Amino acid sequence: MRIGPERVVWRFDPLILTSRVTPEVLLDRIAWLSGMLRGCTRKLVISFADIDCYRSVRRRLSRSNAGAREFMPEEMDEFAARLVECNKALGLELSACAEDSELAGIAKSRCIDGHLLASCFSDDGELMAFLGGGTLFPGDGPVSSAQKHRGQRKACGSAS
């Protein structure tokens, strides 16, 4: 099989708030889109915007006058809890990318997921050799800062 729901990862990110884009609006959009994507994917990845970490993003958003802001930690926890509750009807695997904090009911994720690659392409000997195994397998341990691109967030689990 070349493509299928186990090979399509849906990202809904970065999550950012404005006066018109509230957590309720975001959850409604996720619910609506999940209905449109039913049967096309099994995994939803979210991440919360990190505006303050990126000077150029902060500058552009301030010029836009959109009133955009990051989620506060307690808002992140509440959003995660509400997404997990909403997901009972959706049935997706939920994960969060590059988040420092643990979000109850939401797994940690990475853009380049060695486990997903291995499960989808186990017949590719060259890829399996590259991915390795055991504790070296992507996803089994932290990625060192030496492996990361300088623009990646601290909590990013992907190597460059």
What is the pLDDT, as a whole number, of residue 130? 79
Higher per-residue pLDDT: 136 or 122: 122
Three-state DSSP class for 9?
strand
Average pLDDT taken over every residue of the chain: 83
Range 11-35 average pLDDT: 95
Higher per-residue pLDDT: 124 or 78: 78
Q: How many CB atoms lie within 10 A of CB 85?
A: 11
What is the pLDDT, as a whole number, of residue 75? 97
| 19-25, Cβ contacts within 8 angstroms, sequence gap of 24 or more | 19/67, 23/71, 23/75, 23/78, 23/79, 23/82
Tokens (6 digits) for 64 = 């836009």
Least confident of 15-24, 58-67, 142-151: 142-151
Range 26-30 average pLDDT: 97
Contacts of 110 (CB under 8 A, 6+ apart): 97, 138, 139, 156, 157, 158
Determine contact, residues 28/82, Cβ cutoff 8 Å: no
What is the pLDDT, as a whole number, of residue 112? 75
Domain boundaries, the chain: 1-109, 111-160
Determine contact, residues 96/46, Cβ cutoff 8 Å: yes
pLDDT bracket for residue 110 (50, 70, 90): confident
Tell me the C-alpha distance between 26 and 5, whole Å. 23
Q: Which of 101, 104, 87, 106 is nearest to 34 (CA)?
A: 87
pTM: 0.77
